[in-house]
């Protein structure tokens, strides 16, 4: 099977996965509670209002009609109206989505930057105290739920040292609006971003660190490293140019899994730091029975994970010519 066929097959798989995910959403949000109308009906409605609302939402239609209708709505980005804000869900969620992407993107970037460097050094100095200590620190970070890391950082840097604001995304009364840079580039914003992003970076760092260390150990056993050392190249060159570069490949495959973890992490981290992102919005929506918003948030999170899985697979075959397309 050639590369082209592989990509086409993978694309078909992507479509199937999306369809299955849509169906899962439909089942979760419309079928599971005994009465599917209950979640769309607010308490204290008169029977007439109830009837009207049910008809409005198309909930009096047979299930398969609802299903088709539902899928076409999702495909056109129509998530309905929020029960609480009384606004189209899409308008609420898009801003929150951007905020989440900025936060989690920053966290993942630093997690991988630090993780890869740290892991490479741990592999390079194997058996040393540095490596032993590094493993314990990494495992401790991986064993901590995001909210716990966040609380420790809050206690130290906010309550004790008072260096950072305790939460939110910008100081109230600060400049709002403007372009992308004005929104996400101001020092005020960066001060608010620092702690939540650091929380994510600490938690997500463990996977790339341990994986990088393991693959480094494999690569360092390979003959070509001995040859490079015998050629008399400086250690740093062998480490960075030859050993580390060849160890990065397996990391690509876990990037997708990391995105999934980041989506879950966003829910917790945003709650701890009052970050106005999609994760916190989802918790709020679920707690206040605002199901259209909850569903849209869940839909976006799943979509990001599915697409990252797809991209990781493509990147892998592109980066490693030896891979067989199966």
Q: Which residues bind another protein (CB under 8 A)?
A: 13, 16-17, 20-21, 24, 28-29, 32-33, 126-127, 135-136, 139-140, 142-148, 151-152, 154-155, 159, 217, 257, 260-261, 263-265, 267-268, 271, 279, 282-283, 286-287, 294, 297-298, 301-302, 305-306, 309
Provide the Cα torsion 228, 233, 239, 243; round to 10°. -20
**Residue among 123 and 189 whose Cβ is closer to another protein:** 123
Q: How far is the CB of 101 from another protein (least distance, A)?
A: 14
Q: How far is the CB of 295 from another protein (least distance, A)?
A: 8
Helix 146-153 to helix 249-272 angle (10° resolution) is: 60
CA atoms of 117 and 123, how far apart (whole Å): 10
Q: How far is the CB of 76 from another protein (least distance, A)?
A: 21
List beta partners, residue 81. Answer: 88
**Residue among 187 and 287 whose Cβ is closer to another protein:** 287
**Residue among 29 and 204 whose Cβ is closer to another protein:** 29
Q: How far is the CB of 300 from another protein (least distance, A)?
A: 10
Q: How far is the CB of 247 from another protein (least distance, A)?
A: 14
**Residue among 24 and 190 whose Cβ is closer to another protein:** 24
Residue 208's CB is within 10 A of a number of other CB atoms, namely 26
**Residue among 79 and 189 whose Cβ is closer to another protein:** 79
Q: How far is the CB of 31 from another protein (least distance, A)?
A: 10
Q: How far is the CB of 127 from another protein (least distance, A)?
A: 7
CA atoms of 200 and 145, how far apart (whole Å): 10
Helix 187-220 to helix 249-272 angle (10° resolution) is: 150
**What does residue 167 show for φ and ψ, rounded to 5 degrees?**
175, -175
At which residue do the structure tokens 């199937």 appear? Answer: 16
| Exposure string for 45-79, b = 16+ CB within 10 A, e = fewer | eeeeeeeeebeebebeeeeeebbeebeeebeeeeb
**Residue among 159 and 240 whose Cβ is closer to another protein:** 159
List beta partners, residue 88. Answer: 81
Task: Specify the 3-state DSSP secondary structure of 88.
Answer: strand
Q: How far is the CB of 252 from another protein (least distance, A)?
A: 16
Residues 6+ apart with CB under 8 A from 93: 79, 278, 281, 293, 296, 297, 300
CA atoms of 232 and 238, how far apart (whole Å): 10
By the 8 A CB rule, do 114 and 205 touch?
yes
**Residue among 119 and 183 whose Cβ is closer to another protein:** 119
**Residue among 99 and 183 whose Cβ is closer to another protein:** 99
């Amino acid at each position: 099977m050639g590369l082209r066929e592989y990509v086409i097959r993978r694309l078909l798989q992507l479509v199937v996965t999306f369809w299955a995910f849509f169906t899962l959403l439909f089942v979760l949000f419309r079928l599971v509670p005994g009465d599917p109308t209950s979640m769309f009906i607010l308490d204290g409605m008169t029977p007439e209002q109830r009837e009207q609302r049910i008809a409005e939402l198309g909930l009096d239609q047979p299930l398969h009609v609802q299903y088709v209708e539902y899928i076409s709505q999702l495909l056109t980005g129509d998530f309905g109206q929020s029960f609480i804000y009384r606004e189209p869900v899409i308008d609420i969620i898009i801003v929150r989505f951007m905020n989440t992407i900025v936060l989690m993107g920053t966290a993942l970037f630093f997690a991988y930057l630090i993780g890869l460097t740290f892991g490479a050094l741990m592999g390079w100095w194997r058996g040393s105290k540095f490596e032993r200590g590094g493993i314990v620190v990494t495992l401790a970070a991986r064993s901590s739920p995001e909210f716990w890391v966040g609380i420790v950082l809050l206690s130290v840097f906010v309550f004790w040292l008072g260096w950072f604001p305790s939460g939110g995304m910008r100081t109230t009364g600060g400049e709002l609006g403007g372009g992308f840079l004005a929104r996400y580039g101001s020092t005020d914003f960066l001060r608010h971003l620092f702690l939540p992003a650091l929380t994510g970076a600490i938690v997500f760092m463990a996977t790339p660190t341990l994986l990088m260390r393991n693959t480094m150990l494999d690569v360092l056993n390979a003959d070509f490293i001995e040859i490079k050392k015998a050629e008399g190249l400086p250690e740093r060159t062998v480490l960075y140019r030859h050993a580390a570069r060849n160890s990065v490949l397996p990391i690509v495959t876990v990037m997708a899994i990391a995105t999934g973890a980041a989506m879950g992490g966003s829910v917790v981290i945003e709650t701890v730091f009052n970050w106005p992102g999609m994760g916190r919005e989802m918790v709020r929506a679920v707690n206040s029975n605002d199901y259209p918003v909850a569903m849209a948030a869940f839909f976006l999170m799943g979509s990001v994970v599915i697409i990252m899985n797809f991209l990781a697979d493509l990147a892998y075959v592109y980066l490693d010519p030896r891979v067989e397309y199966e």
